[in-house]
């Protein structure tokens, strides 16, 4: 029985290490985009869905207005999703600078207010390229021009761009930044390997006509989340070779880690809930295998209290996981100029094992709270 248990543990470990090697290769395959020698000519629409964001939305709007991309080619549409604070009033204050406010007025309860908000904004948009971000994000002045340059020189229909956390205030938030870098790296690496699977809606661009060509959010609108990854996977079915990841620092969007454990777990359960709708079942199978690997580590750590053999087995898994993940994270965090965070991996791994197993169970079995609403 011990021999069979060991074989299964080592098999899962080997599979996970192969996945990490695949990710290392994918990240390295992402080339720096070539420079666009011509001025941008694409009309873009910046899409922002906002709900109760009075504390930070003015920073986001100011950053978008400060872009170096031509103003006559930039449209900004912000959808207020039934905010109960001063969010709408703040947005309205930018009307004289071209910021358009659209207020959702849904009589019947929805499970996916954000998708509804984005779809309505797209219906009203006049741009060719939709560029979505969130109402609590910050970006540099070259953000839009970097995305458009990549779009115009690479014949793409969809672009995933980098997102990271900043302004951390605690060890907990620094560890989130490291883990989030891993998640962004996964999405980027899969694209680098020619198999788009995940992205982040805080920095996401796609052609308007392609959005309609794939039916928009139809078929994925029963989940509150998924306006990014699930849309990407729909597009990947039609245009598998025309989705890119913009590996350029000027294109980075910055947001904040969650301040409390409860907020963090609610966010991760929301993200995990999307997996039931993934069109590429190979990705789902891979995620299940990674979950089983983490479960095997948790079981071996527990059994180690009764038999030192299992503790040794856990130690081998832990060491290999640390070395391979450090090799993946070093170039990713270096890109974000946060390579010093990799030292936290020794603390993050034990916590991540427990949380990953928990989220894998809870993300698909219960409702969660998002923006003051209980959704699924």
Domain ranges of the chain: 2-26+280-375, 33-162+203-257
> Which of 100-109, 254-263, 360-369 has the lowest average pLDDT?
360-369
Are 141 and 152 in contact by the 8 Å Cβ rule? The answer is: no
In eight-state DSSP terms, residue 34 is P
**Which of 270, 229, 272, 220 is closest to 132 using CA atoms?**
229
Q: How is 150-174 classified by DSSP, letter by letter?
A: HHHHHT-SEEE--EEE-S--SHHHH
Residue 376 has pLDDT above 60, yes or no: no
pTM assigned to the model: 0.91
Residue 370 has pLDDT above 70, yes or no: no
Of 2.40.50.140, 3.30.420.480, 3.10.580.10, 3.90.550.10, the CATH number of 33-162+203-257 is 3.90.550.10
**Which of 156, 154, 109, 107 is closest to 129 using CA atoms?**
156
Would you place residue 287 in the very low, low, confident or very high pLDDT band (cuts 50, 70, 90)?
confident
Over residues 187-197, the mean pLDDT reads: 94
């Amino acid at each position: 029985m011990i021999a069979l248990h060991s074989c299964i543990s080592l098999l899962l470990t080997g599979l996970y290490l192969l996945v990490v090697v695949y990710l290392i290769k994918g990240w390295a395959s992402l080339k720096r985009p070539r420079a666009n020698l011509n001025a941008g000519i694409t009309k873009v629409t910046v899409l922002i869905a906002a709900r109760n964001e009075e504390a930070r939305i003015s920073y986001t709007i100011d950053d978008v207005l400060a872009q170096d991309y031509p103003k006559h080619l930039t449209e900004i549409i912000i959808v207020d999703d039934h905010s109960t604070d001063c969010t709408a009033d703040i947005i309205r204050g930018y009307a004289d600078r071209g910021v358009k406010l659209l207020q959702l007025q849904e009589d019947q309860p929805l499970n996916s207010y954000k998708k509804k908000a984005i779809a309505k904004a797209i219906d009203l948009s006049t741009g060719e390229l939709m560029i979505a971000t969130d109402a609590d994000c910050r970006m540099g002045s070259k953000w839009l021009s970097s995305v458009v340059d990549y779009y115009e020189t690479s014949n793409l229909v969809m672009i995933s761009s980098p997102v990271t956390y900043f302004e951390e205030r605690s060890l907990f938030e620094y560890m989130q930044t490291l883990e989030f870098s891993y998640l962004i790296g996964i999405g980027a690496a899969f694209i680098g390997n020619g198999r788009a699977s995940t992205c982040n809606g805080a920095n996401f661009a796609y052609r308007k006509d392609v959005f309609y060509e794939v039916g928009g959010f139809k078929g994925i609108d029963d989940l509150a989340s998924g306006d990014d990854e699930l849309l990407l996977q729909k597009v990947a079915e039609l245009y598998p070779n025309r989705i890119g990841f913009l590996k350029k620092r000027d294109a980075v969007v910055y947001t904040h880690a969650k301040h409390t454990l409860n907020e963090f777990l609610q966010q991760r359960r929301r993200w995990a809930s999307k997996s039931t709708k993934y069109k590429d079942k190979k990705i789902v199978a891979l995620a299940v295998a990674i979950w089983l690997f983490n479960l095997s580590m948790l079981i071996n750590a527990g059994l180690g209290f009764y038999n030192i053999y299992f503790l040794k087995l856990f130690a081998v898994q832990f060491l290999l996981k640390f070395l391979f993940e450090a090799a993946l994270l070093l170039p990713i965090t270096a890109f974000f100029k946060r390579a010093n965070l990799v030292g936290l991996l020794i603390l993050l791994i034990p916590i991540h094992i427990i949380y990953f197993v928990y989220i894998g169970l809870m993300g698909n079995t219960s409702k969660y709270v998002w923006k003051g609403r209980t959704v699924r």
